[in-house]
Amino acid sequence: MVDRLSNHFAFHQTALAVRQQRQELLASNIANADTPNYKARDMDFNATLKQAMGGATKPLPPTQLALTSARHIPATAINPPLFSNVLYRQPLQPALDGNTVDMDIERMAFADNTLQYQTSLQLLSQRIKGLQSAVQQ
């Protein structure tokens, strides 16, 4: 039963994770709009989602640190980000300092990604409500 539910929500969960990581990339571009030689980056959402759904990214193997004292904090390796195909945006008019961030493009991409993220959340919420009503009946 739990496997069916996780399979039912796997696409939405992955899509939200990829959208969230793209949002972080776009926010980084906006934050570095005045940084000399900063190159604006973005990702192809569809290609990254296909890659993530296909399981092309493999998680790191379980890694443990060797603890030499009982007071050391145990740590494990974290998985790499879902996207590995971060692309540099081609500037329409690069700045003299080498910065390629175009604030108009970044704001538009940020707003569009936010809208898509909210839409994905609403679709996921509707699916959960549908399942809840089916269980209650």
Domain for residue 69, yes or no?
A: no
Domain for residue 65, yes or no?
A: no
Question: Is 113 a residue whose pLDDT tops 80?
Answer: yes
Domain for residue 66, yes or no?
A: no
pLDDT, tens only, 9-63: 888 888 999 999 999 999 999 999 999 999 999 999 888 888 888 865 555 566 7
Domain for residue 72, yes or no?
A: no
Whose structure tokens read 């209650």? 136
Domain for residue 94, yes or no?
A: no
- Does the predicted model carry a pTM greater than 0.75? no
Residue pair 12/130 in contact by the 8 Å Cβ criterion: no
Distance CA 114, CA 124 (A): 15
Task: Count up the domains in the chain and report the number.
Answer: 1
pLDDT, tens only, 56-87: 555 556 677 778 888 888 876 655 555 567 88
Return the pLDDT at 82.
Answer: 54
Domain containing 16 equals 1-54+83-88+101-137
Domain for residue 62, yes or no?
A: no
Return the pLDDT at 51.
Answer: 85
Of 57-61, 79-83, 107-111, 127-131, the range with the highest mean pLDDT is 107-111
Residue pair 39/88 in contact by the 8 Å Cβ criterion: yes
Domain for residue 74, yes or no?
A: no
